[in-house]
């Protein structure tokens, strides 16, 4: 029998475990926690206050922690790396420990709650590039290639002809590379995120079965541009490119979001509290993985 794993969290009895439609409450919610004069505050009062002030952000942080622990754990090497990072922070600033203490941290809690999760997030991204390899390859179409960017299609055809005759690459590049080219004589990582590169060139490099000179010229996607390109494929092997691909995309916020969405979906993450559901629908609809139509709707609205 196929039992789908469901990711649940508890934050002051805040349960994120289902679909929208109602607001959750704590067990024994009517129990009085404190009294000020004639006013009493129950568990439900405190729960509602926490939920409305930081419930969603704290909840998502806790969810991430659960995923980190399930997928990459906390290894001895990670803990040692966290210790080294902490020591580097204290060495760089005499006030560092005073600053984190003012924020309510001890050395131990800062390492466990701030540094280690950052290390785990990076390790999770490594794992994501393997776990979701097929989709990542399809989306980014990575390759390494030497690109000769020419000022015209005529020059690109001349450069291609000289390369086919056996003229040295460096000489061809020196002669035909545009003065305002985005490329050098070294191989460059090419993906669907590489700006200015023709779409057909990206696809051709990705699908090319043999390395070496690509026997065609690629014109710019911009109809008003005369720029044309010649390419020499170095490799499109994912295993050889994955590290460079990760480094190249590390600043892309979409990547972190896609990574978290992948593992939220793996653990069948759902939200049962209406307020939190509404917050995520407005701010991070992609995290409502069992409601993909909400993310699509948000994307269409932002593009319109």
Say whether pLDDT at 95 is over 80: yes
Task: Report helix, strand or coil for 178.
Answer: coil
Tell me the domains of the chain and their CATH numbers. 10-133+246-303 (no CATH), 143-235 (3.10.50)
CA dihedral sign of residues 147, 153, 159, 162:
positive
pLDDT score recorded for residue 44:
77
Predicted confidence (pLDDT) per residue in 73-89, tens digit: 999 999 999 999 999 99
CA distances from 81 to 28, 120, 267 (A): 43, 11, 28
Average pLDDT, the chain: 86
102 vs 26 pLDDT, higher one: 102
Say whether pLDDT at 220 is over 50: yes
Predicted confidence (pLDDT) per residue in 186-198, tens digit: 999 999 999 889 9
- Full-model pTM: 0.78
Sequence-distant (6+) residues with CB within 8 A of 238 are: 133, 137, 142
Say whether pLDDT at 294 is over 90: no
Say whether pLDDT at 10 is over 60: no
């Amino acid at each position: 029998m196929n039992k789908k794993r469901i990711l649940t969290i508890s934050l002051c009895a805040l349960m994120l475990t289902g679909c929208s439609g109602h607001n959750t409450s704590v067990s024994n919610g009517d129990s009085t926690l404190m009294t000020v004069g004639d006013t009493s505050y129950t568990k439900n009062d405190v729960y509602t206050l926490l939920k409305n002030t930081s419930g969603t952000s704290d909840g998502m942080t806790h969810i991430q922690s659960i995923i980190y622990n399930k997928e990459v754990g906390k290894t001895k090497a990670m803990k040692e790396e966290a210790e080294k990072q902490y020591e580097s922070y204290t060495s760089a600033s005499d006030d560092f420990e005073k600053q984190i203490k003012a924020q309510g941290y001890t050395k131990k809690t800062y390492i466990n709650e701030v540094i280690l999760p950052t290390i785990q997030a990076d390790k999770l991204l490594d794992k994501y590039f393997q776990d979701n390899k097929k989709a990542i390859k399809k989306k980014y179409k990575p390759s390494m290639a030497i690109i000769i960017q020419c000022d015209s299609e005529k020059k690109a055809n001349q450069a291609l002809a000289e390369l086919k005759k056996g003229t040295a690459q460096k000489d061809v590049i020196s002669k035909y590379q545009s003065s305002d080219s985005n490329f050098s004589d070294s191989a460059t990582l090419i993906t669907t995120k590489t700006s200015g590169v023709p779409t057909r060139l990206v696809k051709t490099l990705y699908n090319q079965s043999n390395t070496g000179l690509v026997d065609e010229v690629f014109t710019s996607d911009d109809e008003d541009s005369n720029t044309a390109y010649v390419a020499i494929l170095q490799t499109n092997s994912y295993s050889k490119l994955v590290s460079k691909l990760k480094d190249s995309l590390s600043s892309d916020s979409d990547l972190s979001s896609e990574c978290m969405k992948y593992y939220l979906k793996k653990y069948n993450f759902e939200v049962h509290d209406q307020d939190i559901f509404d917050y995520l629908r407005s701010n991070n609809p992609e995290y409502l993985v069992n409601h993909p139509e909400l993310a699509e709707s948000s994307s269409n609205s932002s593009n319109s």
